[in-house]
Amino acid sequence: MGGCASKKQEEEAAAAAAAAAAKEGEEKTEGEQKAEGEQANEQPKDEEARADTMVDAAVLEKLEAGFKKLKDSDSKSLLKKHLTQEVFDKLKTVKTPSFGSTLLDVIQSGLENHDSGVGVYAPDAEAYNTFADLFDPIIEEYHGGFKKTDKHPPKDWGDVDTLGNLDPNGDYVISTRVRCGRSMQGYPFNPCLTEAQYKEMEEKVSSTLSGLSGELKGQFYPLTGMTKEVQQKLIDDHFLFKEGDRFLQAANACRFWPTGRGIYHNDAKTFLIWCNEEDHLRIISMQMGGDLGQVYRRLVTAVNDIEKRIPFSHDDRLGFLTFCPTNLGTTVRASVHIKVPKLAANRAKLEEVAGKYNLQVRGTRGEHTEAEGGVYDISNRRRMGLTEYQAVKEMNDGIAELIKIESSL
């Protein structure tokens, strides 16, 4: 496997070797040990360093085989498009400095799933710099021209009181949701996390969230040891997340499941946090109806509160860092479930308005699903190169326009 994926085997092998060495050491004379120690100290330091930064042969073999298959496939992924032979040759022997992640860790999901739309994940925060020759063009294409010379603006939630209710009469908008992702500073992303780190993170998150008050006050439910009753209750509320899909599985994002994973929700069930699902934290505010202002204000209050207690991974150029490059920047996805049966019959018009306001139109149950009864899941598409407020405002203005058109048809 790649750098992170092979760590577990390396740790086990190292522990066994250490035990054997200790036993052998007991049987040696003090003089022999001293002589060996002096000899070992003479080993040049740069040789050790070189061994540490080298990608092992098994990983290279896997990379070469996977790359050949991808090249010969009819995959439409951004990975296939941007992983040229030149980029591949340049990056295949590189590792991230702190966690030793390799190109295989970055691309193995896309190598295994040729039907991926994107096909890459960042195994740790440093991967975005180490493998920039691959990530930068993918980010630029996905995020609508965010070039490698561009810089994401500083965080700005804007004037939260300028957003209101999109549909006061409740004729069109069924529910409203705004979410963002956050990574905890000092920890790698899923593929590199150890079991101990998962437990430590869950403990930190759980104790931090227990300090939330007012309408955010609620309870944390760890997935480990969860009773059938609690599980069923969370399924009924559509709060429970399952182990990752095949794309995440292939990216090694589901190791030690369900250790370190958990769900927090407030008493009113309008505020939800997923711990260690795809990202370290998914922070979600939602409710029935179209009051985007209320949903947004709740999210902003929560994020600001949590941020005081948990430092988040942030990059001056890319914004907030996440496991998947599609969520970088603001990481904000503001969405509504909206019923527009007349526009549903005129999909071209719907897509035209969506394009104008940079909206993404999905079926009722999310990506790759159909619209049931003219109900769509519509959200902002852009997350980079604009502020949090601008991202949500785009969705707000686009939905207002769709409602105006639907009501005039």
Q: Give the span between the Cα atoms of 179 and 173, in whole angstroms.
A: 17
Check 324, 381, 387, 406 and give the catalytic one. Answer: 324
- Predicted local distance difference test score (pLDDT) of residue 39: 42
Q: How confident is the model at residue 391 (pLDDT cuts 50, 70, 90)?
A: very high
What is the mean predicted confidence (pLDDT) over 361-376? Answer: 70
Q: Give the span between the Cα atoms of 265 and 233, in whole angstroms.
A: 12
Q: How confident is the model at residue 38 (pLDDT cuts 50, 70, 90)?
A: very low
What is the mean predicted confidence (pLDDT) over 22-32? Answer: 44
**Does residue 131 contact residue 79 with C-beta atoms inside 8 Å?**
no
Check 96, 102, 130, 179 and give the catalytic one. Answer: 179
- Predicted local distance difference test score (pLDDT) of residue 346: 85
**Better-predicted residue by pLDDT, 215 or 363:** 215
Q: Is the peptide bond before 258 cis (omega within 30 degrees of 0)?
A: yes
Annotated binding site: 175-179, 238, 282, 333-337, 362-367
Average pLDDT, the chain: 87
CA-nearest of 375, 371, 300, 305 to 334 is 300
Check 208, 326, 330, 331 and give the catalytic one. Answer: 326
Reply yes or no on whether the pLDDT at 343 is more than 80.
yes
Structure tokens at 363: 């079926």
Q: How confident is the model at residue 409 (pLDDT cuts 50, 70, 90)?
A: confident
- Predicted local distance difference test score (pLDDT) of residue 2: 53
Reply yes or no on whether the pLDDT at 217 is more than 70.
yes
Reply yes or no on whether the pLDDT at 381 is more than 80.
yes
Please give the C-alpha separations between residue 28 and each of 36, 41, 242, in angstroms, as whole numbers.
Answer: 10, 18, 53
Q: Note the Cα 65 to chain centre separation in Å.
A: 27
Q: Give the span between the Cα atoms of 38 and 235, in whole angstroms.
A: 62
- Of 6-20, 91-105, 169-183, 198-212, least confident by mean pLDDT is 6-20
Reply yes or no on whether the pLDDT at 106 is more than 70.
yes
Domain ranges for the chain, please list them. 7-23+45-142
**Better-predicted residue by pLDDT, 394 or 18:** 394
In the residue annotation, 179 being an active-site residue is answered as yes
Q: For a pLDDT cut of 90, what percent of the chain falls above it?
A: 74
**Does residue 392 contact residue 292 with C-beta atoms inside 8 Å?**
yes
**Better-predicted residue by pLDDT, 164 or 239:** 164
Q: Give the span between the Cα atoms of 207 and 293, in whole angstroms.
A: 29
Spell out the residues 6+ positions from residue 399 whose beta carbon is closer than 8 angstroms to its own.
166, 173, 290, 292, 336, 338, 359, 378
Check 333, 381, 382, 383 and give the catalytic one. Answer: 333
Environment class of 336 (CB within 10 Å of its CB; exposed 0-12, middle 13-18, buried 19+):
buried
Give the DSSP letter of residue 131. T
In the residue annotation, 324 being an active-site residue is answered as yes
Check 282, 381, 382, 383 and give the catalytic one. Answer: 282
In the residue annotation, 381 being an active-site residue is answered as no
Alpha helices in 321-382 (DSSP H): 341-344, 347-356
Check 126, 141, 362, 401 and give the catalytic one. Answer: 362
Annotated binding site for ATP: 175-179, 238, 282, 333-337, 362-367
Residue 46 backbone phi and psi in degrees, to 5:
-70, -25
In the residue annotation, 254 being an active-site residue is answered as no
Q: Which fold does the domain 7-23+45-142 belong to in CATH?
A: Transferase Creatine Kinase; Chain A, domain 1 (1.10.135)
Q: Give the span between the Cα atoms of 227 and 220, in whole angstroms.
A: 14
- Predicted local distance difference test score (pLDDT) of residue 41: 42
Q: How confident is the model at residue 281 (pLDDT cuts 50, 70, 90)?
A: very high
- Predicted local distance difference test score (pLDDT) of residue 7: 54
Q: Note the Cα 107 to chain centre separation in Å.
A: 15
Q: How confident is the model at residue 21 (pLDDT cuts 50, 70, 90)?
A: very low
Structure tokens at 79: 């990975």
In the residue annotation, 317 being an active-site residue is answered as no
Angle, alpha carbons 108-146-380 (nearest 5°): 85
The most confident of the ranges 4-13, 50-59, 282-291 is 282-291
Q: Give the span between the Cα atoms of 28 and 37, in whole angstroms.
A: 12
- Predicted local distance difference test score (pLDDT) of residue 24: 47
What is the mean predicted confidence (pLDDT) over 246-258? Answer: 92
Q: How confident is the model at residue 366 (pLDDT cuts 50, 70, 90)?
A: low
Spell out the residues 6+ positions from residue 123 whose beta carbon is closer than 8 angstroms to its own.
2, 3, 4, 96, 99, 101, 105, 106, 188, 189, 190, 191, 192, 252
Q: What is the pTM of this model?
A: 0.84
**Does residue 321 contact residue 125 with C-beta atoms inside 8 Å?**
yes
Angle between helices 103-112 and 57-72 (to 10 degrees): 40
Reply yes or no on whether the pLDDT at 47 is more than 50.
no
In the residue annotation, 362 being an active-site residue is answered as yes
- Predicted local distance difference test score (pLDDT) of residue 37: 43
Check 278, 388, 394, 406 and give the catalytic one. Answer: 278
- Predicted local distance difference test score (pLDDT) of residue 32: 44
Angle between helices 388-408 and 292-309 (to 10 degrees): 160
**Better-predicted residue by pLDDT, 322 or 25:** 322
- Of 26-35, 54-63, 216-225, least confident by mean pLDDT is 26-35
Spell out the residues 6+ positions from residue 202 whose beta carbon is closer than 8 angstroms to its own.
222, 259, 260, 261, 262, 275, 276
Reply yes or no on whether the pLDDT at 384 is more than 70.
yes
**Better-predicted residue by pLDDT, 40 or 155:** 155
Reply yes or no on whether the pLDDT at 19 is more than 60.
no
- Of 21-35, 104-118, 135-149, least confident by mean pLDDT is 21-35
Q: How confident is the model at residue 214 (pLDDT cuts 50, 70, 90)?
A: very high
Structure tokens at 370: 């159909």
Helix (H, G, I), strand (E, B) or coil at 326: helix
- Predicted local distance difference test score (pLDDT) of residue 236: 83
**Does residue 326 contact residue 118 with C-beta atoms inside 8 Å?**
yes
- Predicted local distance difference test score (pLDDT) of residue 34: 40
Give the DSSP letter of residue 184. B
